């Protein structure tokens, strides 16, 4: 089952918060102007399909060699050749990241729109400049919190997912189970502090893409079809997870909330052409690419957030265990994986 899970999800868009931390830690970041979007970065189907084929073929060769009694002297060249092929696929579709670039910009926050030329940077130097403790608090200081209401996974405990990483030798994705009320409270505290909140959700349930609306009461499908489903009235989030009706499928960013309306402002990664009708409804061009999430939808479909640990405090339940790596390990085929 482990091999099946690994080969089913061998390469795909998206990933967990620790995937980002791992990539930025090793390779750095560049401004969009230094490595622009390509057709394939917004249309990844062909790239992903070819990358999956290459990686599955490599995994097959490794497995066959090991079953035949081969050791590392035989499998290491297979791994190296597979990674080179994967690199060629990505470079063909996305281009190569720049080794050095000039960073310059015009300050849009001031009245004089001052122009800045900061000099030449490598991706790692640029990371240290813009993602330092001074600006973001350091990506490694963010903690993931989740709502997993299944009785077998009690709140206040730390968990991790086996094989839940994107880079060899790094820690698996890990988090503290705190419940949905705590997710909301801490997410609002982060937004109040001026920090948007990355979150993972089941994106396609009760969702109108053009309108940019997530609402648990958006479509009354049971009334339309005359059916009774696990996602209908009276069912629990835990049961929806057990039946895979609701589980993490997409990551977005919370950028605001309205307590009176019971809504959240969501920034998506699908570009400004998505949620176009939402911009019309909001009456502001700046709303392109954003959407609105109802609080009721948050309850059943938001699973994880990443927030700076300064918002939690040293005595936050489960934090010590998480820091020590004393986690309950869930299998890679779990709903939270």
Task: Flag whether 83 is in a domain.
Answer: no
- Rounded CA-CA distance 319/317 in Å is 6
Query: 207-218 pLDDT, tens per residue?
Result: 988 888 999 989
Q: Classify residue 317: in a domain, yes or no.
A: yes
Q: Which residues pair with 75 in a beta bridge?
A: none
Nearest to 238 by CA among 176, 300, 145: 300
φ and ψ of 304, to 5 deg? -145, 145
Phi, psi of 130 (to 5 degrees): -100, -15
pLDDT digits (tens, 9 = 90+) for 255-294: 999 999 999 999 988 776 667 666 666 655 556 678 899 9
**CA–CA distance, 307 with 132 (Å, rounded to integer):** 16
Closest among 6, 14, 2 to 248, alpha carbons compared: 14
For the segment 324-333, the average pLDDT, to the nearest whole number, is 95
CATH code of residue 262: 3.90.70.10
- Residue 108: pLDDT band (50, 70, 90) is confident
Beta bridge partners, 257, equal 264
Q: Which residue has the higher pLDDT, 137 or 95?
A: 95
154 is in which domain, residue-wise?
A: 140-330
Residue 99 lies in a domain: no
Residue 75: its pLDDT value, please? 96
In a domain, 270, yes or no: yes
Residue 199 is assigned to a structural domain of this protein: yes
Each residue's pLDDT tens digit, 148-160: 999 999 999 999 9
Radius of gyration (C-alpha) of the chain in whole angstroms? 22
Rounded distance, CA 110 to CA 300, Å?
Answer: 41
What's the domain count of the chain?
A: 1
pLDDT attached to residue 133: 66
- In this model, does residue 175 exceed pLDDT 70? yes
Q: Which 8-state DSSP code applies to residue 100? A: S
Selection from 25-34, 153-162, 164-173 with the highest mean pLDDT: 153-162
Residue 79 domain flag: no
SS3 of the chain: helix, strand, coil, percent, to 5: 40, 20, 40
């Amino acid at each position: 089952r482990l091999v099946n899970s690994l080969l089913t999800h061998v390469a795909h868009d998206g990933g967990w918060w620790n995937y980002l931390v791992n990539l930025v830690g090793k390779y750095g970041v560049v401004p969009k102007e230094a490595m622009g979007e390509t057709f394939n970065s917004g249309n990844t189907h062909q790239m992903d399909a070819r990358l999956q084929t290459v990686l599955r073929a490599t995994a097959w060769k490794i497995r066959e060699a090991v079953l035949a009694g081969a050791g590392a002297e035989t499998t290491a060249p297979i791994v190296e050749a597979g990674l080179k092929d994967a690199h060629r696929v990505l470079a063909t579709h996305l281009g190569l990241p720049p080794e050095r670039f000039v960073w310059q910009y015009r300050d849009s926050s001031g009245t004089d729109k001052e122009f800045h030329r900061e000099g030449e940077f490598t991706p790692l130097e640029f990371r240290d400049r813009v993602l330092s403790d001074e600006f973001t608090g350091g990506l490694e200081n963010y903690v993931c919190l989740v709502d997993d209401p299944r009785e077998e996974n009690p709140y206040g405990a730390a968990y991790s997912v086996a094989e839940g990483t994107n880079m060899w030798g790094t820690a698996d994705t890990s988090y503290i189970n705190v419940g949905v009320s705590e997710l909301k409270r801490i997410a609002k505290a982060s937004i109040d502090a001026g920090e948007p909140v990355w979150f993972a959700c089941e994106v396609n349930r009760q969702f109108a893409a053009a309108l940019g609306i997530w609402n648990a009461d958006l479509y009354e499908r049971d009334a339309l079809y005359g059916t009774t489903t696990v996602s209908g009235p009276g069912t629990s989030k835990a049961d929806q997870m057990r039946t895979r009706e609701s589980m993490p499928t997409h990551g977005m960013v919370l950028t605001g909330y309205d307590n009176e309306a019971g809504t959240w402002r969501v920034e998506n990664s699908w570009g400004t052409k998505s949620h176009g009708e939402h911009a019309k409804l909001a009456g502001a061009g700046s709303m392109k690419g954003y959407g609105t999430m109802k609080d009721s939808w948050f309850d059943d479909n938001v699973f994880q957030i990443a927030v700076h640990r300064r918002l939690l405090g040293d005595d936050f339940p489960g934090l010590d265990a998480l820091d020590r790596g004393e986690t309950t390990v869930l299998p890679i085929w779990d709903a939270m994986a």
